[in-house]
A and B are shown apart, each in its own frame.
Chain A
Amino acid sequence: MTYLTKPTLHHPTLVKNKAGYTRRDYEGKVSTLCAGCGHDSISAAFIQACWELDIQPHRVAKLSGIGCSSKTPDYFLGNSHGFNTVHGRMPSVLTGANLANRELIYLGVSGDGDSASIGIGQFAHVMRRGVNMTYIVENNGVYGLTKGQFSATADQGSKSKKGVANTDSPVDMVALALQLGATYVGRSFSGDKRQLVPLIKGALAHQGAAFLDVVSPCVAFNNHAGSTKSYDYVREHNEAVSRIDFITTRSEITVDYPEGEVVEVAQHDGSTLRLRKLHPEYDPTNRISAMNYIQEHHAKGEVVTGLLYVDPQPEDLHTHLNTAEMPFNRMGKKELCPGSAMLERINASLR
């Protein structure tokens, strides 16, 4: 079978969200990934997040690089445009797409090989530029698609399936993103839907460069004892700093929070991030202390998860470039061509 289609008949009892879509409208093709692959859980979290946010599916543009992770945009939001670009270069394509039409929601899906190895340069520069997007690295510490070689996020000393130990030090994508100026930075685990879905929702609503590092075990090549990206390892070493709930301006607040540890962060678009701090000393709006905190815990062998940093008033590339409100892809001759009279003036200046 070369392509898979699913029956798209709607069950009459399927509930619609405020945008008038059923959950099914957010689904895509049937996944071709290995059963149990962490990446599929992340796709499910996207579906959940977009459905809950009442996003019109076709207003999302999905861009990815190359890898098992980068294949996933075909498996959710089936009516949206998607672009499986080249290995490690999704950030530049997303940047160009974003410049062409500032009105869509941009989702960048990548792997640890795609973003931390071949694509680390483009990863760095897209964060520096503050492109308005949600950028997710589905991080399994290996190259899944090419059958299990170490990626640059593999921890030093972690063992491959064949028993070989990785000797290079790891790249921490979260630390990099913070250092490079991302304005929304979180880490989560594909197996922790309760944490992941609100993190994605917050990222989608964020009007700047949002980055999520999601540890996502590869059951085929990196889920054995000795791996630091396995389900068991992450469950044992997960050090969650916060639980967040994402509240849009329209939704009523339904969650009850214990006293004392709740911070509300109002986002630029009017939505609210309601943060339940698990570690009282943790301040998610301070970039420097976030960086320190992560490094300290990393040294102790802990994977810190949650919303690690947010700038509630972010700027994006369009702000920096002072671009017009009208999307470029809607501009025509009237908006763009200076006309023949002006050209005559230019000619005259060249004589």
Chain B
Amino acid sequence: MNTNTSPKKISAVNDFVVKFANVNGSGSASANEMFAKSILRMGVPVSPRNIFPSNIQGLPTWYEVRVTEKGYLGRRGGVDMMVAMNPQTWDKDIAEIAPGGYLLYDSTKALPASKFRDDINVIGVPLTEICNDTYSDPRERQLFKNIIYVGVLSALLGMDAEAIAELIGEQYKSKEKLLKHNVHALQLGRDYAMAKLTCPLPIRVEKRDNIGDMILVEGNAAAALGMVYGGATVCAWYPITPSSSVAEAFINYCQKLRLDTTNKSKYAIVQAEDEIASIGIVTGAGWNGARAFTATSGPGVSLMTEFIGLAYFAEIPVTIINVQRGGPSTGMPTRTQQADLISSAYAGHGDTKHVLLFPEDPNECFEFGAACLDLADRLQTPVFLMTDLDIGMNQRLCKPFKWDDAREYDRGKVMTYELLESGKEFGRYLDVDGDGVPFRTYPGTHPTKGGYFTRGTTKDAYARYSEAGPDYLYNVQRLLKKFNTAKKLVPQPIERKATQKTRLGALYFGSTSPAMNEAYDALEEQGTHVDLMRLRAFPFPDSVQAFVNAHDTVFVVEQNRDAQMRSMLVNELGINPAKLVPVLNYDGTPITARFIIKEVAERAAGLNVVPLRKGKEAV
């Protein structure tokens, strides 16, 4: 059903955005995922994202797939094709389509013309009717409707029918009947489209070979796998979006990978009564020599703060996966932000600061996750893996996970029975190596040596009770030394130079990465040269200071309102704030390259940095 006027038609190969508007629980998730994955199988990168408000009646959800031959995995913004399957959000969904874009909808029931726009291309398919004619079971009617629209799309976008069939085959490997039904449903959709619609559309997918050995995985699952490989045995958690799937994935992996020969578990997972108990359990396990972690989000970290402070002063290894979201429980809990930087970096009471790692994607969630466990032991302190909803809960294309079998766990400085027997001096808080990190003993090690009483700061270097000023100073200054030691142990920043010498720099981190990389290309193309540095950890290694010194102006790109990373840079490195220009995205949606390009280009212009050649206008 086309409208009378003929609107322009967006035309693009392997570079467009399809958005699905669905009702939660209608079985759309797996169909949508299948759509995204089959494009991958055609060798074309995709970047899918879930958008799911937590609090709206009828529970609408959206799934957005960016098809991007160039491998730009950030959110692009804008919608070229809307698959509108939720009547409740219809008006909003229609409004979102770019002029010249496409709308695919269920045309079983006629809709008045006022429900459409005349600058978009409307494609109606009587999905319900097809389903009702084919299936009698109401559940099947619902489920296969999703597969049918994937079939329609596959024809409209010129997709490879084999790639999808292959995927369905893998998914229902041992379920013969389901396999047959799904293939049939897909074919129904394809046949309808081929017979009744113009296929393919001017937006379409063409085969490429741009995937290589990359994998598609959620950051939360990757972090959980990092915990398995890194040797975590105790996980204590309290459910909170967007972190819950970390613990859930850890459970799943452990059930397969962590049973001993008698089928007993080499892991323990406690769903605690709250986040205070979660971190308490992790603290107890760390104190007693097991690797332990918790996964949480902002409100949970707030509750954990007292324990985090104690673990810092008592010097206990603790790993906290903080999957950031927007603010309080009635804030934007299902939206993404990087707004818990300061509250994590300085969580506690008294003078405290903590090690934070900032993974850019699931691959780094895995790698840094395992690294957190090593760092926590090496430094005997809380370490945070700072991810966010965007990385954590969306499948992201990334490099495959790697593990070197020669790698040993770094358990840090642990005084064993043998060392104690050999007469080596033990002072629990004694800085024997000059790096601020003392030796510890596990409880129960030796009948007469190495026992000590753990408490906050009222202690001397031998863990004896002391309220003396010099003893306090010794310990807290040593903690500072230890924090400096951490600078060399954490993942170092990664620089990406502009193609020409420039006085402009940009610092960014975490989930901003794909948008920043895309923005870099576009800015280069328009003649705005910016050197990039991706921060991967706090405390900031010396190279960060050097990078800032080497530029007149440094953009600090982050996803929060208060420029928290910028504050930490000023606070820790004593940088002149005027030099650090904030670029801030904080509406709850993932930052886009479009946003960065606009902000940077505008400000660069204001700074009188003359582009070296006349560039195109920002996209």
Contact = CB atoms under 8 A, between A and B. Distances in A.
Interface of A: 2-5, 29, 56-59, 61, 63, 73-74, 78-86, 89, 91-101, 103-104, 121-122, 124-125, 129, 317-318, 321-326, 328-329, 331-333, 335-340, 342-344, 346-347, 350-351
A329 B292 contact: no
A125 B447 contact: no
B443 interface: yes
A300 B296 CA distance: 48
B605 interface: no
A332 B565 CA distance: 36
Interface stretch (B81-89, B198-206, B264-272, B494-502): B264-272
Which of A97, A318, A329 neighbours the largest number of chain B CB atoms within 10 Å of its CB?
A: A329
B443 to A, nearest CB: 4
A83 B287 CA distance: 9
Contacts of A333: 231, 407-409
A84 B444 contact: no
Contacts of A121: 273-274, 277
B465 to A, nearest CB: 5
Contacts of A79: 447-448, 451
B289 interface: yes
Interface string B458-471: 00100011111001
Contact of B451 (A78, A92, A103): A78
B292 A96 contact: yes
Nearest to A94: B284
28 contacts: A3-B465, A80-B451, A82-B452, A82-B454, A85-B283, A89-B277, A91-B277, A95-B284, A97-B443, A99-B270, A100-B284, A100-B290, A101-B290, A101-B443, A121-B274, A121-B277, A122-B277, A321-B265, A323-B268, A324-B265, A328-B268, A328-B285, A329-B442, A337-B409, A338-B229, A339-B403, A343-B401, A351-B213
Contact residues on B (Cβ < 8 Å of other chain), bracket: 35 or more
Contact of B454 (A84, A98, A323): A84
Interface string B118-135: 000000000000000000
A3 B463 CA distance: 10
B282 A96 contact: yes
Interface of B: 40, 211, 213-217, 225, 228-229, 231, 233-234, 236, 257-258, 260, 262-270, 272-274, 276-290, 292, 306-307, 310, 314, 400-405, 407-409, 441-448, 451-456, 460, 464-468, 471
Nearest to A344: B400
Contacts of B270: 95, 99, 129
A96 B264 contact: no
A105 B453 CA distance: 16
A125 B443 CA distance: 24
Given A58-B451, A92-B280, A331-B233, A350 B217 contact: yes
A86 B466 contact: no
A263 B404 CA distance: 61
B281 A96 contact: yes
B218 to A, nearest CB: 10
A95 B273 CA distance: 12
Given A122-B277, A324-B264, 19 more contacts: A2-B467, A57-B447, A59-B444, A61-B443, A93-B283, A96-B284, A97-B443, A100-B290, A101-B288, A101-B289, A101-B442, A122-B273, A122-B280, A328-B233, A331-B231, A333-B408, A335-B266, A338-B258, A346-B401
Given A3-B460, A93-B280, A324-B264, A100 B233 contact: yes
Given A3-B466, A97-B443, A99-B268, A343 B403 contact: yes
Nearest to B282: A96
B98 to A, nearest CB: 31
A89 B307 contact: yes
A94 B270 CA distance: 13
Which of A2, A339, A346 neighbours the largest number of chain B CB atoms within 10 Å of its CB?
A: A346
Given A99-B285, A328-B233, A86 B310 contact: yes
B216 A351 contact: yes
B216 A350 contact: yes
Contacts of B233: 99-100, 328, 331, 336
A346 B278 CA distance: 29
A332 B231 contact: yes
Contacts of B465: 2-4, 29, 74
B272 A92 contact: yes
A287 to B, nearest CB: 22
B228 to A, nearest CB: 7
A346 B256 CA distance: 11
B403 A340 contact: yes
Nearest to A62: B453
A340 B272 CA distance: 32
A312 to B, nearest CB: 24
Contacts of B466: 2-3
Contacts of B234: 96, 99-100, 328
B268 A81 contact: no
A329 B403 contact: no
B284 A104 contact: no
Contacts of B452: 81-82
A336 B281 contact: no
Nearest to B400: A347
Contacts of B443: 58, 61, 80-81, 97, 101, 104
Contacts of A99: 233-234, 268, 270, 281, 284-285, 290
Given A84-B454, A86-B307, A336-B231, A100 B288 contact: yes
B440 to A, nearest CB: 10
Contacts of B448: 58, 79
A73 B280 contact: no
Contacts of B269: 321
Contacts of A331: 231, 233, 266
Contacts of A29: 465
Contacts of B400: 344, 347, 350
Contacts of A326: 260, 266
Contacts of A82: 452-454
A103 B289 CA distance: 13
B33 to A, nearest CB: 12
Contacts of B445: 58
Nearest to B270: A95
B606 to A, nearest CB: 44
A156 to B, nearest CB: 28
B328 to A, nearest CB: 21
Given A85-B280, A86-B306, A99-B285, A350 B215 contact: yes
A324 B260 contact: yes
7 A-B pairs with least C-beta separation: A92-B280, A96-B284, A329-B289, A100-B290, A81-B443, A100-B288, A93-B284
Contact of A338 (B257, B290, B314): B257
